[in-house]
C-alpha cells in the first residue's frame, strides 16, 4: 500500500509551536477585542519567482494537511506558554480546545504556479487561521523550493532516472521532506530510508568509498559486494584508477554487472571512456551512474554523455541556490462578524518596496492558447469568466476542519509531469528569463 499522506502522525508531539510568538499575541489581543472570531480569508502566494526561474511547483500540501490535523495544544505545550507568560489565562483556555474548524482550498499538489497565484486559501475565524501562518509557510516554502529545483533537474535529465541523495547535507527532518518534494518534482528514488518508510518512496543504495578502503584491494571489495548483493549491483569505480576498477568490476561480476558509479573527475570525459571500456569488455548492458555535486546545469551538460542515471545531493536539498519559494500568508478579506452570511470586505496591505498585496477572496484559472498550451494565469475576485469555466485551479482540501483531499504521492508526481507538460516549451530552458506565462488580474 502507498502510505503517502494518509494522516500518519508527525515526528513531534504537536505542530502547535511551529509558530512565531506574534501569532499568539495577536490571538490574545483579538480575544480581548472581540474580533477573534471574525470570518477571515488568508491567502498564500509569492510576489515573484526566484531570479531566472520560469515557474514554481506546489509541494508540501500533504504535509500541510498533516500539520493542521496535528495542531493541538497538549498539557506540556500549554505549560510552556504559561511558564513563559507568552499569553494570558483566557487565551490559554481558548488554546486548550483549539481545533481548526474552517476550510482550506488550494492548488493541488504538483501543480505549477506563478507570481500572484493564490496557492492556498485558508478561511475561518481570524484567530484559528492566523495561528497556522508559520507552519503552513515553513512547509510550503521549503518543499516548493526543493520541488522546483527537482523539476528543473528532471527536465534537464530528459527522462533519465534521478536519485535523491542529500540527507547528509541538510537537517535530518528536512532530508525527509526534501526527498518527498524531490519525488514530486520528478526524482525516481531516494537514498534516505526515513523517506522511504514515511512516504513509500523507492529507496536505493550500495556502497561508498569507505567500503573499498576497508578491504586489502579494490577487487576484494568488489567480490564482497557482489557476493552479498549479486551481480546486478552498482560498483563504485573511482576510488583509485577508474580504468583498472572497471576492468576488475567486470571480471568479478561478469558482463551482467548492473552498473558502475562515477563520483569524481571530468564526468563527461570519464563517462565516455567508461562506456567504451564496458562495451569492449562485453558489458554492454551495464549502466553508468554519475554523482558529484550535480545541479541542473551539470546534468544538462551531460545530455550527450552515455550516462544512465544521476545522483543529486547538496544542490537539490538547498533548492539549487534558491532554498525558499518566498511565499507569504496574507489576510485578503474579512467580515464584521463570525456570521457565515456576513459579507466579506476585501483588505490589502499598501506599502512601498514591492510588498503590497491585492485584496479580496480570489479564484484562479489557467487560460490556454489555440493549441492547448497555457498562455496566462488568470486571477480574479469577481465572477469567473465563462470562457474559463472548468479551468479553475483551486480544489477543496479541508472542509469544516476535516481533511477531504489526501492522495497517494505517485498521483501528485504524475500531476506535476502533466502540469509542466502543459506549459510553453521555454518553461524548461535553463537560461535565465521571466515567468513563462504572465499573471493577469480579472
Question: Can you give the pLDDT at residue 2?
Answer: 44
Q: Are strands 162-164 and 309-312 parallel, antiparallel or unpaired?
A: parallel
pLDDT at residue 12 in the model: 53
Give the contacts of 153 (CB within 8 A, at least 6 positions apart): 162, 185, 186, 187, 294, 295, 296, 299, 310, 312, 316, 320
- C-alpha angle with apex 178: 175 to 184, nearest 5 degrees? 150
Q: Please identify which residue in the block is written with the cell numbers 545541479.
A: 295
The confidence score (pLDDT) of residue 219 equals 98
Share of the chain residues as helix, strand and coil, in percent rounded to the nearest 5 = 40, 15, 45
Domains and CATH numbers, the chain: 21-146+322-441 (3.20.140.10), 206-307 (3.20.20.70)
Residue 277 CB-density burial (10 A; 0-12 exposed, 13-18 middle, 19+ buried): middle
* Nearest-angstrom CA–CA distance, 108 and 117: 12
The 3-state secondary structure of 68-124, one letter per residue: HHCCCCCHHHHHHHHHCCCCCHHHHHHHHCCCCCCEEEECCCCCEECCCCCCEEEEE
HSE-CB for 106 with a 13 A CA cutoff: 34
- Among 403, 320, 392, CA closest to 8: 403
Residue 9: per-residue pLDDT: 47
- pTM to 2 decimal places: 0.94
Cα angle vertex 317, ends 313, 319, to 5°?
Answer: 120
d(CA 157, CA 299): 6
Report CA-CA distances (Å) from 242 to 233, 235, 318, 387. 17, 11, 30, 60
pLDDT at 274: 98
d(CA 132, CA 326): 17
Rounded distance, CA 385 to CA 383, Å?
6
SS3 call for 293: coil
pLDDT at position 351, please?
Answer: 73
22-38 pLDDT tens trace: 999 999 999 999 999 99
- Regions of the chain where pLDDT drops below 70: 1-13, 352-353
Residue 227, CA atoms < 13 Å, CB-side half-sphere? 6
The residues, ordered by sequence, that sit 6+ positions from 221 with a Cβ below 8 Å of its Cβ are 207, 211, 212, 214, 215
Using CA atoms, how far apart are residues 54 and 391, in angstroms rounded to an integer?
Answer: 21
Beta strand pairing call for 56-57 and 112-113: antiparallel
- Cβ atoms of 127 and 37 within 8 Å: the answer is yes
365 neighbors 425 (Cβ within 8 angstroms): no
Amino acid at each position: 500500500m502507498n502510505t503517502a499522506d494518509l494522516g500518519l502522525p508527525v515526528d513531534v508531539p504537536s505542530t502547535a509551536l511551529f509558530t512565531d510568538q506574534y501569532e499568539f499575541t495577536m490571538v490574545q489581543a483579538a480575544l480581548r477585542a472581540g474580533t477573534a472570531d471574525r470570518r477571515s480569508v488568508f491567502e498564500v502566494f509569492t510576489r515573484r519567482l526566484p531570479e531566472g526561474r520560469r515557474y514554481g511547483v506546489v509541494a508540501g500540501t500533504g504535509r500541510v494537511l498533516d500539520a493542521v490535523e496535528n495542531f493541538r495544544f497538549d498539557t506540556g505545550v500549554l505549560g510552556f506558554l504559561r511558564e513563559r507568560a507568552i499569553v494570558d489565562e483566557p487565551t490559554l483556555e481558548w488554546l486548550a480546545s483549539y481545533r481548526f474548524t474552517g476550510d482550506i482550498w488550494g492548488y493541488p499538489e504538483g501543480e505549477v504556479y506563478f507570481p500572484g497565484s493564490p496557492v492556498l486559501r485558508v478561511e475561518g475565524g481570524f484567530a484559528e487561521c492566523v495561528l497556522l501562518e508559520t507552519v503552513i509557510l515553513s512547509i510550503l516554502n521549503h518543499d516548493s523550493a526543493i520541488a522546483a529545483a527537482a523539476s528543473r533537474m528532471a527536465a534537464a535529465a530528459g527522462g533519465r532516472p534521478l536519485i535523491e541523495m542529500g540527507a547528509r547535507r541538510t537537517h535530518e527532518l528536512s532530508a525527509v521532506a526534501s526527498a518527498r518534494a524531490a519525488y514530486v518534482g520528478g526524482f525516481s528514488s531516494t537514498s534516505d530510508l526515513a523517506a522511504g518508510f514515511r512516504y513509500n518512496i523507492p529507496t536505493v543504495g550500495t556502497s561508498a568509498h569507505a567500503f573499498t578502503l576497508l578491504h586489502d584491494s579494490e577487487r576484494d571489495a568488489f567480490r564482497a559486494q557482489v557476493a552479498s548483493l549479486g551481480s546486478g549491483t552498482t560498483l563504485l569505480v573511482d576510488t583509485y584508477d577508474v580504468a583498472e576498477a572497471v576492468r576488475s568490476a567486470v571480471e568479478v561480476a561478469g558482463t551482467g554487472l548492473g552498473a558502475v558509479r562515477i563520483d569524481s573527475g571530468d564526468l563527461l570525459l570519464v563517462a565516455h571512456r567508461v562506456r567504451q571500456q564496458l562495451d569492449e569488455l562485453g558489458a554492454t548492458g551495464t549502466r553508468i551512474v554519475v554523482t558529484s555535486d550535480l545541479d541542473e546545469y551539470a546534468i544538462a551538460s551531460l545530455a550527450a554523455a552515455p550516462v544512465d542515471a544521476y545522483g543529486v545531493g547538496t544542490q537539490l536539498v538547498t533548492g539549487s541556490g534558491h532554498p525558499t519559494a518566498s511565499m507569504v500568508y496574507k489576510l485578503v478579506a474579512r467580515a464584521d462578524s463570525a456570521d457565515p452570511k456576513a459579507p466579506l470586505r476585501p483588505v490589502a496591505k499598501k506599502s512601498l518596496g514591492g510588498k503590497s498585496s491585492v485584496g479580496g477572496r480570489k479564484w484562479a484559472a489557467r487560460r490556454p492558447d489555440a493549441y492547448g498550451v497555457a498562455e496566462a494565469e488568470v486571477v480574479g475576485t469577481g465572477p469567473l469568466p465563462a470562457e474559463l469555466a472548468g479551468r479553475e485551479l483551486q480544489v477543496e482540501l479541508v472542509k469544516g476542519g476535516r481533511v477531504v483531499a489526501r492522495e497517494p504521492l505517485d498521483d501528485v508526481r504524475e500531476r506535476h509531469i502533466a502540469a509542466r507538460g502543459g506549459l510553453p516549451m521555454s518553461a524548461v530552458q535553463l537560461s535565465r528569463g521571466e515567468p513563462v506565462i504572465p499573471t493577469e488580474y480579472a
